[in-house]
Amino acid sequence: MSKYILIIGACGQIGTELTLTLREKHGGEHIIASDIREGNDELMQSGPFEILDATNYDALEEVIAYYGISEVYLMAAMLSATAEKFPMRAWNLNMNTLFNVLNLAKDKKIEKIFWPSSIAVFGPNTPKEDTPQNTIMEPSTVYGISKQSGERWCEYYFNKFNVDVRSIRYPGLISWKTMPGGGTTDYAVEIYHKALTEGSYNCFLEEDTKLPMMFMDDAIRATLQIMEAPEENIKERSAYNLAAMSFTPKEMAENIKAVLPKFKITYEPDFRQEIANSWPSSIDDTTAQNDWGWNAEFDLKKTTQVMLENLKK
């Protein structure tokens, strides 16, 4: 393979595992990791790395020209919980980085873009169960507003300028290699760490808050699958619904208790409860299944097993 791929925000929760998987597949030298901070040892030592602020168009263009990049995965963003604290910074980061990458593709400096959307594009008026691909959206968070706007711009750049941009509405992601970066579903990672280190967890969401979630391996597989699908199969140029499992903190705690019987959970909801209340409980991803063959492999039981096994090491 001769193409070179740039990952922006490569040191985050998704970027780290995405970079490592792409490097394993295509060879380390072909996958350029970039971020405004350094990542873990495995990431830093397995291939090229650039300190790059993706809001800086000139710096981004320079890296792309230097390495002869043809594909960009834009993983830099401010996530839901942090964005509520810094609305303008979140809007500027989430939108300007996207425009920079879209404009590079419009000007034929890159050929293909992956940009992640989120279940946060949905809002309190969206049908909560089996949320369809096309439905009422009306997001009520800064993060959700930026993701929905981003989706509209992606579709616009595809329609007007034939930019090959592909996107997924990730649910909350569960992983053990990197800690999550300030989202509303972070509890579903923290809980495993605390279960092992302290035997208990104080959850920031109420016990019956059901949210769509996915194990990281599934999310990475979906990301590669949509990027490798033939262009004509990608019929949604906003973003695809994607699902694997849905559960509440209480169900998750029961699942952990099956392995660690002494585990205890308490609940102390904070401002993130309101964000979670505005999101769907479960997602209908039939369109992704039909268009590019998506199918999840990890349920909650399998996720718990893999998380606890790896975090114990």
Identify the helix (H) or strand (E) that includes residue 166: strand 164-166
Q: 166 forms bridges with which residues in the sheet?
A: 114
Which segments of 26-68 are extended strands (E)?
31-35, 49-51
Quick note: the x/- pattern for ligand NAD over 60-99, rule CB under 6 A, is ---------------xxx-x-------------x------
The size of the interface with ligand NAD (CB under 6 A), counted in residues, is: 28
The CB-of-174 to ligand NAD minimum distance in angstroms stands at 8
Which of 111, 114, 276 is CA-nearest to residue 204?
Answer: 276
Enter the tokens of residue 35: 């971020």
**Residue 141 neighbours by CB distance under 10 Å:** 23
275 binds ligand NAD (CB under 6 A): no
In the list 5, 7, 11, 275, the residue contacting ligand NAD (rule: CB under 6 A) is 11
The Cα angle at residue 160 between residues 155 and 161, in degrees rounded to 5: 100
Identify the helix (H) or strand (E) that includes residue 92: helix 87-106
Q: Does 143 participate in catalysis according to the annotation?
A: yes
Among residue numbers 21 through 50, which ones bind ligand NAD (CB under 6 A)?
35-37
193 or 257, CB closer to ligand NAD? Answer: 193
Query: Under 8 Å CB-to-CB from 258, ≥6 apart: which residues?
Result: 304
The CB-of-297 to ligand NAD minimum distance in angstroms stands at 18
Cα 67 from chain centroid? 25
52 or 105, CB closer to ligand NAD? Answer: 52
State which residue has the least CB distance to ligand NAD: 12
- Of the residues 4, 73, 143, 157, only one is catalytic, namely 143
Residues near ligand NAD (CB under 6 A) are 8-9, 11-15, 35-37, 52-55, 75-77, 79, 93, 116, 118, 170, 172-173, 180-181, 183, 185
Q: Catalytic residues, which ones?
A: 143
